[in-house]
Structure 1
């Protein structure tokens, strides 16, 4: 596993957070009076110029959080409580017109899961750039095309391809084109939702290289959403692990790599192979997350957790500081026991240094 150059700077706090997600509940109404409580009491912060990873299995609420940030929830979805602050301003109650005018593209842009469904198949890419500029900027047609040409160079595409149609690009080239469009209005925050889905491993690495190069060149922040915890360890500065609509653990990637303290974070990390330990038996997380037809008043991982006790079902867990570190939080009542309880699943770093430093 490679370690990116910027990843070890997690301790360099910038100014005010660019995004604050505070105690947010998100529900989807279904037929009748029923609701699915997709996200429950979720809290995390993304600092300026921070690459933040949100990881968890499919259906845990990751993409719902991304949709909520840009006002993209389905018609049956709503933020029922909590606040979302972008650059200090609450945006959770913004109207569609407010999101279009103040947030989308120019402040927060999105690299979606499927690039092939995000580009208009009957319009040349240059035409699509002109449309974006028409509705969101004062750029002329020529200026919009020139900007797209510059961004194609940034993401490693030939400038001569700006007048091609999407079907003339490979999947990896389409994804790079989407990255170019995400930068078009020079946003402060980019949400990358499974940005390497459906790409082969070589193209995945190239796309991640392009995403990481933006950090120094464009001074942006990133919310990277993925089910692959190794991608987060490799590319992000801080992170949160989700399970069943709840945040399970949050902190900088070094701490969550070296000192995971939520059972789900521990088992998830050990479910991925590690080239340093080729003979290690991979962890298996048995069972399924709850259906969340009611707001959970328990730890949603309790049924799957090998270390759960009766108290795990007696209330949704509050965050616990790991070993007194306020920047490393685990939503588990046994967080500070996990070092002993899960000893067989934890790999200890060399004394005085991080395993990530050893890999680097």
Structure 2
């Protein structure tokens, strides 16, 4: 069995504050294999971007990985110094497509000059080699090679997207982390971006960690995923397994809060309440206060991620995961009946 490309094992991340600490991530674990597209999904504030920043030494100065291990190609990297990370990992092994990606290019510097600067910090490449590499990547992402000497403001929005992808691939990384890359884009631009990312699989051996609040984007793009809530990994598994048979209450409700073409008349779920503030060490299920099926045990102890069906491919951190299929079915039937009754009471029933 081949070794995973990236292993995140029992990671805790804490932000040190003057008044009280924030326990942003608790006991998070997942793996990404070579050439795998992996999604990390959850609502704002769930800890997914914090977890991603820990992989690239991008935490704020008051944030730290307080326990757990992060291994890249079998080597622990969570305690690397900035120098070690720059020399071994950054850009050459792991590169990032940041939030608001289209605004992350320096507007005062030509793309070719930005590429030369990146290569100069992390490699011994000549200027000619760096520019030649960028030209090659422009061709891969569908941009004219001659445009490498243009400024970002000379590009359209779609061209900036592709330029960002090209820059992230400059030093031949094995893993790309894309943090909410489609958040500020309209639906057409989102679709174009995801197609560019997906097309790379045909041209390069590349793994992707896609971080987003949109579970539908993950279902469309990724091989596997993990769902986060309140700093915890609620559920992880293959896209097929979680799409067809989610077993954590948060995953079920999150999936049903997005439109589904298969059920155009289905009422969308609303997840009431907000995630907890995480000001104390977390020893409970962080979804318990919002969960329709929570029991006292959920509020008093933290469920571990147990594998379903005797395999590691699908794991759920829920005390009631074995019951969840029937519980969720009853819940949805009740909601549909309530919705139908509400429509009828308003006088909108179909005359036919």
TM-score normalised per structure 2: 0.92
Is the contact between residue 22 and residue 280 of structure 2 (CA under 8 Å) also seen in structure 1? yes
TM-score normalised per structure 1: 0.90
Bigger mean CA offset, 253-262 vs 149-158: 149-158
Q: Distance in 1 between matches of 2:268 and 2:77?
A: 42
Q: Distance in 1 between matches of 2:158 and 2:2?
A: 35
Q: Which residue of 2 aligns with 1:22?
A: 9
Which residue, 4, 15, 18 being the options, matches 1:31? 18
Matched, 1:325 2:311: yes
Matched, 1:217 2:203: yes
Which residue, 27, 31, 53 being the options, matches 1:67? 53
Structure 1: 5+ residue stretches without partners: 1-13, 348-360
Matched, 1:337 2:323: yes
Structure showing greater radius of gyration is 2
Structure 1 segment 44-55 matched on structure 2, within 5 A: 44-55=30-41
Matched, 1:283 2:269: yes
Q: Distance in 2 between matches of 1:281 and 1:69?
A: 38
The number of aligned residues is 333
- Report the alpha carbon displacement of residue 215 of structure 1 after superposing the two structures with TM: 1.8
- Report the alpha carbon displacement of residue 163 of structure 1 after superposing the two structures with TM: 1.2
Q: Secondary structure at the match of 2:91?
A: coil
Q: Secondary structure at the match of 2:312?
A: strand
Q: Which residue of 2 aligns with 1:261?
A: 247
- Report the alpha carbon displacement of residue 346 of structure 1 after superposing the two structures with TM: 7.3
Which residue, 204, 210, 222 being the options, matches 2:190? 204
- Please provide the CA RMSD for this pair: 1.4
Q: 1:30 to 1:117 in 2, by over 3 A?
A: farther
- Report the alpha carbon displacement of residue 48 of structure 1 after superposing the two structures with TM: 1.2
Is the contact between residue 108 and residue 188 of structure 1 (CA under 8 Å) also seen in structure 2? yes
- Alpha-carbon displacement from aligned partner over 1:180-236 (angstroms, at most 9, x marks no partner): 011000011110111212112112111111111112311111111000001100110
Matched, 1:161 2:147: yes
Is the contact between residue 102 and residue 164 of structure 2 (CA under 8 Å) also seen in structure 1? no
Structure 2: 5+ residue stretches without partners: 334-352
Which residue, 174, 178, 182 being the options, matches 1:192? 178
Is the contact between residue 259 and residue 268 of structure 2 (CA under 8 Å) also seen in structure 1? yes
- Report the alpha carbon displacement of residue 116 of structure 1 after superposing the two structures with TM: 3.9
Q: 1:344 to 1:173 in 2, by over 3 A?
A: farther
Q: Secondary structure at the match of 1:100?
A: helix
Is the contact between residue 297 and residue 315 of structure 1 (CA under 8 Å) also seen in structure 2? yes
